[in-house]
Structure 1
Amino acid sequence: MKLSFKKPLILILASVLTAGMLFSFVNKNDKLFAIAKNLDIFASLIRELDSYYVDDIDPEELVSVGINAMLEELDPYTEFIPEENSDEFRLLTTGEYGGVGALIGNRTGTNMILMPYRGFPAQAAGLRIGDQFLKIDTVDVTKKSTSDISGLLKGPANTSVFVQVKRGEDTVEVNLTRRKIVISNVPYYGKIDDQTGYIKLTDFTTNAASDVRKAFLDLKSQGITRLVLDVRDNPGGILKEAVEIVNLFIPKGKEVVRTIGKLESVNAVYKTTKSPIDKDIPIAVLINERSASAAEIVAGALQDYDRAVLIGRKTFGKGLVQTTVPLSYNSQVKVTTAKYYIPSGRCIQAIDYSKKDENGNSSSVPDSLRNEFKTKNGRIVLDGAGIEPDKKVDPKLFAPITYSLVARNLIFEFGNEFFWQNESIVAPSEFSVSDELYNEFVTWLEGKEYDYTTYVEKSLDDLVKYAEREKYFDEIKETIEDLKKKVSHSKEQDLITFKSEIKEALKEELVSRYYYQEGVVEASLKNDTEVNTALSILSNQQEINRILTASAKK
């Protein structure tokens, strides 16, 4: 078969040669070309799917899925923020929103108030923990999701919202006026003995440094001579706030953190710019495995300058910096742009997201690749796995019965009923669950389901499986049955054996009803192992000196 050409062959050959020459100038590794090419393919694919796919598709939803899947290949912190999620993102970064001031969530399959914030509309109107949502304005919300209810409650400041809730057997209706809600980064501070101040820092949103500064100055006016700064469970936030908090205790002109990335524009050195409030007061910083990012900068910088004793457990290990970049149609992308390095020179990032195994999983930095750095006093510290404490305190483990009572919301429900029947209790630091009240709780539990498997029972079940698999079961069957009888738990006995820790869980639940978030923190301090360890160390200057010198043994 002959081919028919509308152009002379010589012109076609010339065109092919010209195209080849042009493509030869386009480096196959040219990222701009690759981006343009693949964006064109992606747009073409969406158009063809919309035209040809057998069922109707939602192009916006499909693209969103594609974007999120793409970003998941990078790291957990790079994320796309569509316009409709901008308010939620602003709340996470600033701690501000327009609403009624209450934490809501789903308990026992029902959406309810989990914590009203003191001084805001929900609390001022008398809404309580455990109030179950029935209606918001004219909308029946009994089958709505938590996020839907949250969206209905939020809105511009000074606008009204009607809320109907169920409280026990009663129905309560209130009209609320939304306010600009600014959540404090310091839900509680106070003195834990005559000389020791305590500050609980839960976030690093806007004004975190100001919140800590105000708390510290107030404590100093009360005569404290030592300080416990608690950043346990603090997920981090704004880097600048971390720098300013370190500056409260470190002299002017000292490096706190530096960021290093691919672009010069993200490389920066952050130093203290002001005179400190107090550069001598002994400090203990409480950390754990959920202390991350900005919390790790504060803890790590104070450790690197030997300015504080770190107590608790190794931190999360997030040494990555995110920058928010605006996109079209009011969307944004929060993208990892740099790694941060604290004063000793170490980066505490624990997971290398650039290297993945055959299953696509990222791996932790192996101990063999962790590098040694030194603090101001010459103490050896390591990179690549979070901030390690100077004094390790093992996590508190709870008995299976306590877990079961909490997980099944039985302690929560008892707290509701107690609150409905009792107008007040004594201050959080003075309140305790008496034996009489505990016995009321035990009686209240009768007929309620809260069975569980103990650790020993679970181990025996595993032993049976392995024995059956390896054909040893018949030989040890009688021994196992005898062991099962001996270790079989009794709920009634466990309520006696683990009475003290169940009492503690009850105390915090009951205190939350009357004194809210700050009350829970205050009530927990007396039996807090890390706090008590900090008190012991801070009261002994020789011990502080020993820990913060190069000769100290971990």
Structure 2
Amino acid sequence: MYKYLFGLFLVSTLVFTGFKYEDRYFEIAKNLDIFATLFKELNSLYVDEINPTKAMNTSITAMLKELDPYTNFYPEDMIEDYRTMNAGKYNGIGATIESRFGEHTVVMVYQYSPADKSGMKIGDVVTHINGVSLAGRDSDELGRLLKGQTGTRAKLTVERFGEKKPLEISVERDVVKTPNVPHYGMIDDEVGYIQLKDFSATAATEIKAAFEEMEGEGMKKLILDLRGNPGGLLNQAIEICNFFIPKGELVVETKGKVAQWNKKYLSLRNPVDLEIPIVVMVNSSSASASEIVSGTLQDYDRGVIVGQKSFGKGLVQSTRPLTFNTQLKVTTAKYYIPSGRCIQAIDYSHRNPDGSVGKVPDSLKSTFYTKNGRAVYDGGGVDPDIFVEPKELSELTNQLISEGAIFDFATKYYHENKNNVPEDGFIVSDQLYQQFLAFTEAQGFNYVNDAEQALSDLEGIAETEKGYNEFGTELSTLRQKLNSKKKADFQTFKEEIKDELALEILSRYHYDKVMKFVSFEKDAEVQESLKILKDTDRYRSILKGK
């Protein structure tokens, strides 16, 4: 059996790598033979039983880590996840469950999904599925227990805020479709807004439907929000670009080592609108297909890009079916947008904590030009025409989010105000904010900022040093001042905390469509986009490179 697998793998390797037989045969044959004989000996002699599937998956994962982050292997039990990523739909219950502080908590329920129809709520803690305890199980195991064939049922045991006993919820699995466009609408009498979260199979259809509806309402200008959009299907990106550029234009080109991956993708249909002013908003989480759309519209001077440098993922993945219903997603080429630049980051192994590319030295960049002759650059991602400083939350707000205080208070608020549905322009009142502060205190929330951590370290060092009493008073005084400052932070950052609370509370009632109920007045990118669209001369001068 080992020789059969070895021989099969060897032949496929030689066929698909394109290497000449005489150049690589010996090295490939030698190393595959070593691997096969090593595994055979381990399986025969190792003191404990070896799980062959787990061992192979571990070795494959380790091998692929030496390549780029996007070449992945999908074993048979993960094929459903693979299909979900490509189609934007799956057989399941329509809820996102994450591990929070050792518990499996529902963090999103999709509207009209089986989970929604069964009465599942954000904040529910799932303890059992079909009688199987989830204690100690990871997210992958949880996902496999939740997904299944349409028409089958999953019986969930959940703990809910305000309920003394666990609840039993029976959910009938069905095809779950996650929307690409969770929100669109008119911001004012002229400007329309479309939020695109993914590029799955219906992205272009949803964009076109939203565009045509708002066009009928008098839309004269468009804001396309691609912030946080991780990308998806290439054909959907091409289709969306085609809405706004003439038929027959180059949208994107792929170039790879193997000639069959060298392709040019053109706009094949008549456009929807060639004149409407467009602003595309991007940030450091806008990747892949988002960068093709924003970069292509920028290269044709068809729209102004606002926000921050995009993620910088310009690698093309293709899928290869393997034996036993497994799949390999392998990087086969790079994307090049119409100006000729590649959006792939030069170094995809090292990024900033927020996922952004970071500053690329000018010496490593190459200059390209848009249709109007504006200079644009490669090196990683799409640079916005108008840069807007990203919103950075305070240490306090980040801790309230990471430790679940804002999430848990929103859950409490919802169950105490089920019939009081917040609508447009909802804000957290000062009275409600005081209730939140009382809640955090009752829950034992302990706010520790960087300054306090540094002081604690200093106090620890001082206690081990002779002469501590000589400056103990000064440290004590500093501690008192720091405690006063921490209390003041709850007022200093009150407005941003209230904004985060409002978003979390709105999600309990309006699912992933919260943007529909949020005021854009505090959204810096939207406000900058509106300014540009209102100033026709400025909009045109940006696209002309003046």
* TM-score, normalization by structure 1: 0.86
Q: Verify: 1:417 aligned to 2:412, yes or no.
A: yes
Aligned residue among 202, 207, 210 for 2:205 = 210
Aligned residue among 43, 52, 76 for 2:69 = 76
**Correspondence for 2:33:** 40
Q: Per-residue displacement from partner, 1:360-397 (whole Å, max 9, x unpaired)?
A: xx999643021000011111000112110011011112
Amino acid at match of 1:156: Q
Secondary structure of residue in 1 paired with 2:442: coil
Structure 1 range deviating more: 365-374 or 449-458: 449-458
CA distance in 2, matches of 1:460, 1:281: 56
CA distance in 2, matches of 1:463, 1:550: 54
Aligned residue among 391, 404, 408 for 2:403 = 408
Aligned residue among 535, 538, 546 for 2:533 = 538
Aligned residue among 497, 501, 515 for 1:502 = 497
Amino acid at match of 1:161: A
| Percent sequence identity over aligned pairs | 45
Q: Verify: 1:526 aligned to 2:521, yes or no.
A: yes
Distance 1:221 1:455, change over 3 A: farther
Greater gyration radius? 1
- Do 1:74 and 1:353's aligned partners in 2 also have CA atoms closer than 8 Å? no
- Do 1:79 and 1:335's aligned partners in 2 also have CA atoms closer than 8 Å? yes
**Correspondence for 1:248:** 243
CA distance in 2, matches of 1:441, 1:364: 39
CA distance in 2, matches of 1:479, 1:115: 49
Amino acid at match of 1:200: Q
Shift of 1:462: 8.8
Q: Verify: 1:550 aligned to 2:545, yes or no.
A: yes
Provide structure 1 residue ranges, at least 5 long, that are not aligned to the other structure.
1-25, 356-361
**Correspondence for 1:118:** 111
Distance 1:336 1:510, change over 3 A: same
For this pair of structures, how many residues does the alignment match? 516
Structure-to-structure mapping, 1:408-447, within 5 angstroms: 408-447=403-442
Aligned residue among 151, 159, 166 for 1:166 = 159
**Correspondence for 2:49:** 56
Distance 1:450 1:138, change over 3 A: closer
Q: Verify: 1:30 aligned to 2:23, yes or no.
A: yes
CA distance in 1, matches of 2:20, 2:418: 76
Q: Per-residue displacement from partner, 1:9-50 (whole Å, max 9, x unpaired)?
A: xxxxxxxxxxxxxxxxx9997123422332122111111222
Distance 1:486 1:505, change over 3 A: same
- Do 1:251 and 1:279's aligned partners in 2 also have CA atoms closer than 8 Å? yes
Secondary structure of residue in 2 paired with 1:351: coil
Secondary structure of residue in 1 paired with 2:230: coil
* TM-score, normalization by structure 2: 0.88
- Do 1:424 and 1:514's aligned partners in 2 also have CA atoms closer than 8 Å? no
Distance 1:515 1:438, change over 3 A: same
Secondary structure of residue in 1 paired with 2:512: helix
**Correspondence for 1:344:** 339
Structure-to-structure mapping, 1:141-540, within 5 angstroms: 141-168=134-161, 169-170=163-164, 171-352=166-347, 366-457=361-452, 486-520=481-515, 522-523=517-518, 525-540=520-535
Q: Per-residue displacement from partner, 1:440-491 (whole Å, max 9, x unpaired)?
A: 22222233333334355567789999999xxxx9999998887665455544
**Correspondence for 2:79:** 86
CA distance in 2, matches of 1:386, 1:260: 17
**Correspondence for 1:100:** 93
Shift of 1:128: 0.7
Please give the root-mean-square deviation of Cα atoms over the aligned residues, in Å.
2.9
CA distance in 2, matches of 1:117, 1:535: 30
Secondary structure of residue in 2 paired with 1:258: strand
**Correspondence for 1:138:** 131
Amino acid at match of 2:85: L
- Do 1:352 and 1:365's aligned partners in 2 also have CA atoms closer than 8 Å? no
Secondary structure of residue in 2 paired with 1:318: coil
**Correspondence for 1:20:** none
Structure 1 range deviating more: 456-465 or 298-307: 456-465
**Correspondence for 2:354:** none
- Do 2:424 and 2:516's aligned partners in 1 also have CA atoms closer than 8 Å? no
CA distance in 1, matches of 2:303, 2:33: 55
- Do 1:225 and 1:281's aligned partners in 2 also have CA atoms closer than 8 Å? yes
Q: Per-residue displacement from partner, 1:99-158 (whole Å, max 9, x unpaired)?
A: 111111122321121111001111122211111113322323355433323222211112
**Correspondence for 1:3:** none
Secondary structure of residue in 1 paired with 2:254: strand
Q: Per-residue displacement from partner, 1:60-100 (whole Å, max 9, x unpaired)?
A: 32222221111111111111111111111111111111111
Secondary structure of residue in 1 paired with 2:108: strand
CA distance in 2, matches of 1:101, 1:179: 8
CA distance in 2, matches of 1:297, 1:277: 18
CA distance in 2, matches of 1:68, 1:29: 28
